[in-house]
Amino acid sequence: MAKKKDGSESNLGLIITLVIFVLLTIILGVTTYMGFSAQEEKDKAVAKMKQEKDDAEARATWGYAKTRILRAIIDGKHAPGDDAARTALEKQQIDSGTFPAAAKQSDKDDFVGYTKALAPTWDAGKSTAPPKTLEQILREKDQRIEAEKARARVAEEKAAREKRDREEAELEAEKTITSLKNAMEDVKKRALEDRKTDLAALSDQGDTLRKENEEYQKLRDKYAEAEKMLNRLEAQNKKLVAELADAKRALRTVSEERDTKELQLVKALEQLGKPRDAIEDAVKDARYAQLIREWKKDWKIVELDRKGSMVYINLGSADRLVPQLTFSIHGVGLDGQLNPQSKGTLEVVRVLGSNLALARITSERESASFKKDPIVRGDRLFNPAWDPDRKRHVAIAGLADLGGEGIDNTEDLRRMLNRQNIEVDAYIDVSDEKAPRLEGRGITSKTDYLILADALDAINHPKANDKTYMAAYQKLEREMKAKAVENGVTVIPLRRYLDMVGYTPPKVFKPIQGR
């Protein structure tokens, strides 16, 4: 029994030990599980707090960036420690969607649209600041508003004045209408009285009216006869127009025959050893003399001032006269034709009326200046290159040395011709150093004169010694002369042309040595 008792006690201890072990194991498992669970909650809390911190920092960075950008747009100022470059970089990143702090911001799109609306021309990639701040824009807008207000005030004042003027005009019109009504009443009364008188005299005018009807019938017969005469005259006019066209063609043929004979004469005289230039000058002088003999215009000097330096001429606005137009002055022979030798030249200063202008004497021949053949009232004006009824046309072969100083004045000559309503159809341009070239539409049958100007070497042109350039220049001159002959154009030397139109080149005073 004692043994059984001992064995039972041993088993009981073992059972108690096992129970205690199981309980301890359960407690340890529970505590271990609870420890791991608490750590996981702690990690989650830490991660959440870190995310909240990052979000807060992103919101703060986003807020600071927006503040800096808005301040740059509004007034262009920056907080201490900030700079324009950083602000521009943040705006560029925000506009392009690469700014990290803007990734989770719900208002980023609205902010981008807002900044573009406030500063539409600010490209942050190219400029660290907008072209104009909002303050500047608002200030300019306020200035424009004030200006518009000022203009509105002026307009209101003007409208008020116009209203007053209109009311006064309406009042005056009412007075006038009243006066006219009264006058009309008086007229009606007088008309009634006159009607009675006219009715009484009407019977006496019956005979007169019948006589007038008879006269009217006679006039109608005469009108019918005149209409027949007009038809005959129109037929004669058509015939005369056709004859004139034939005459023009015949004149062109004669001109061509004349040029041919002149060319044959030149060649014949060249064979006899005569200088070609002298022969051509003689031919051209003969043509000039022919123009003088055929001159029929009654342009003349009508009065001189006391000093004899200013004159009045019988040309004006009705003749489309313009200032700076020039003429040569000629006396009149016993045969009524102009004397070939001019007395001098004049230039129009001012147009005074439809047929009156003031002109200045620009040069006088020795015979005129010494009073042997002075310029007097009635002397005629000569300038066949100007026509008040149509534009004249010329061409210039060569370069123009107007003052005899060895200087190219071709541009001045062209301007002078333009003032005289003369169009230059063709001229030689030597502005290109590589080769001269012909400018203009070219010589045609409408060209009136070919002006022979100076050669390259005569004006000391830098290309005068360049044989290639000179050959090309001379070729253009020859082509222009041939074209003039082909189209029946009158060829005239520059000096003779200037004398003909009464142009006097400006005097050039050379400085005295030592001064």
Amino acid 284: pLDDT:
55
From 59-73, 263-277, 384-398, the region with the lowest mean pLDDT: 263-277
Q: How confident is the model at residue 131 (pLDDT cuts 50, 70, 90)?
A: confident
From 414-428, 465-479, 487-501, the region with the lowest mean pLDDT: 487-501
CATH number at residue 414: 3.40.50.10190
The neighbouring-strand residues paired with 329 are 344, 381
* Residue 413 shares a structural domain with residue 392: yes
Amino acid 313: pLDDT:
94
* Residue 25 shares a structural domain with residue 90: yes
Q: Is residue 8 part of a domain?
A: no
Amino acid 21: pLDDT:
85
Amino acid 1: pLDDT:
43
* pLDDT tens for each residue of 57-96: 778 888 878 888 888 888 777 767 677 888 888 888 888 8
Amino acid 514: pLDDT:
37
Domain boundary among 350, 382, 414: 382
Q: Give the residue-averaged pLDDT of 345-373.
A: 83
* Residue 304 shares a structural domain with residue 325: yes
Amino acid 324: pLDDT:
86
- Res 421 pLDDT > 80: yes
Amino acid 365: pLDDT:
79
DSSP string, 453-465: -B-TGGGT-TTTT
Q: How confident is the model at residue 251 (pLDDT cuts 50, 70, 90)?
A: low
* Residue 396 shares a structural domain with residue 446: yes
Amino acid 311: pLDDT:
93
* Residue 402 shares a structural domain with residue 465: yes
Could you tell me what percent of the chain has a pLDDT over 90? 10
The residues, any chain, with a CB within 8 Å of residue 334's CB and separated by 6 or more, are none
Q: Give the residue-averaged pLDDT of 340-350.
A: 88
Q: How confident is the model at residue 360 (pLDDT cuts 50, 70, 90)?
A: very high
* Residue 404 shares a structural domain with residue 497: yes
- Res 411 pLDDT > 50: yes
Q: Is residue 193 part of a domain?
A: yes
Q: Give the residue-averaged pLDDT of 107-135.
A: 81
From 207-221, 280-294, 369-383, the region with the lowest mean pLDDT: 280-294
Q: Give the residue-averaged pLDDT of 163-175.
A: 86
Closest CA to 497 of 279, 283, 288: 288
Amino acid 424: pLDDT:
92
- Res 98 pLDDT > 90: no
Closest CA to 278 of 266, 289, 268: 266
Closest CA to 397 of 449, 319, 356, 458: 449
From 205-214, 276-285, 496-505, the region with the lowest mean pLDDT: 276-285
* Residue 345 shares a structural domain with residue 390: no
Mean pLDDT of the chain: 80
DSSP string, 8-47: HHHHHHHHHHHHHHHHHHHHHHHHHHHHHHHHHHHHHHHH
**pLDDT higher at 95 or 207:** 95
CA 270 – CA 476 distance, rounded (Å): 23
Q: Is residue 491 part of a domain?
A: yes
Q: Is residue 287 part of a domain?
A: no
Amino acid 511: pLDDT:
41
Residue 50 has a CB neighbour count (10 Å cut-off) of: 10
* Residue 502 shares a structural domain with residue 404: yes
Amino acid 272: pLDDT:
67
- Res 2 pLDDT > 80: no
From 111-115, 139-143, 273-277, 355-359, the region with the lowest mean pLDDT: 273-277
* pLDDT tens for each residue of 423-463: 999 999 888 888 899 999 999 988 988 998 888 878 778 88
Q: Is residue 282 part of a domain?
A: no
Amino acid 300: pLDDT:
93
* Residue 326 shares a structural domain with residue 428: no
Q: How confident is the model at residue 305 (pLDDT cuts 50, 70, 90)?
A: confident
* Residue 103 shares a structural domain with residue 162: no
Q: Starting at the earlier edge strand, list the strands of the sheet with 422-429.
A: 437-440, 422-429, 392-397, 449-452, 490-493
Q: How confident is the model at residue 371 (pLDDT cuts 50, 70, 90)?
A: low
374 in Cβ contact with 365 (< 8 Å): no
- Res 203 pLDDT > 70: no
CA 464 – CA 454 distance, rounded (Å): 12
Amino acid 269: pLDDT:
61
* Residue 250 shares a structural domain with residue 344: no
* Residue 104 shares a structural domain with residue 81: yes
Strand 392-397 versus strand 422-429 pairing type: parallel
Give the count of domains, the chain: 5
Q: How confident is the model at residue 515 (pLDDT cuts 50, 70, 90)?
A: very low
CA 422 – CA 35 distance, rounded (Å): 116
Strands (E), 173-274: none
CATH number at residue 360: 2.40.10
Q: Is residue 279 part of a domain?
A: no
Q: Is residue 25 part of a domain?
A: yes
- Res 184 pLDDT > 90: no
Domain boundary among 382, 404, 431: 382
DSSP 115: H
Segment (H or E) for 265: helix 134-271
- Res 174 pLDDT > 50: yes
Q: Is 61 exposed, middle or buried (0-12, 13-18, 19+ CB in 10 A)?
A: middle
- Res 282 pLDDT > 70: no
Instruction: Residue 352: give the domain boundaries.
Output: 296-382
- Res 264 pLDDT > 60: yes
Q: Is residue 20 part of a domain?
A: yes
